Chain A
Amino acid sequence: MALEQVAEVTATHSEREVQNRLSMVVFSGDMDRLMAAFIIATGAAASGMDVTMFFTFWGLQAIKKQTPTGRSLFGRMLGVFLKDINGVGPSRMNFGGLGRWMFKKMMRAHNVTSLPELRQLAAELGVRMLACQMSMEVMEIRREDLIDEVQDVVGVATFLEEASRSKITLFI
Chain B
Amino acid sequence: MEMKPDLTLDLKGLLCPMPVVKINQAIKNVPIGGIIEAYATDPGVMADIPAWCRSTGNELVTIEKQDKVIRFVVRRLK
Contacts and interface: CB of A to CB of B under 8 A. Distances in A.
Q: Are A and B part of the same complex?
A: yes
Interface of A: 39, 42-43, 46-49, 110-113, 118, 121, 125
A46 B21 contact: yes
**Residue of B15, B18, B24, B52 most packed against chain A (CB within 10 A):** B18
Contact of B15 (A46, A110, A125): A110
Nearest to A40: B17
A43 B17 contact: yes
A42 B17 contact: yes
B16 A46 contact: no
Interface in B38-58: 52, 55-56
Contacts of A47: 20, 24, 52, 55-56
A74 B58 CA distance: 54
Nearest to A41: B17
A113 B56 contact: no
**Chain B interface: which size bin?**
10 to 19
A121 B15 contact: no
B13 interface: yes
Contacts of B55: 47-49
A125 B21 contact: yes
B61 interface: no
B14 interface: yes
Give 9 closest A-B pairs by Cβ, nearest first. Answer: A46-B24, A43-B17, A47-B55, A46-B21, A46-B20, A48-B56, A42-B17, A39-B17, A112-B15
A113 B20 contact: no
Contacts of B20: 43, 46-47
B14 A43 contact: no
Nearest to B21: A46
Interface in B3-31: 13-18, 20-21, 23-25
Nearest to A121: B21
Given A46-B21, A46-B24, A47-B24, A111 B56 contact: no
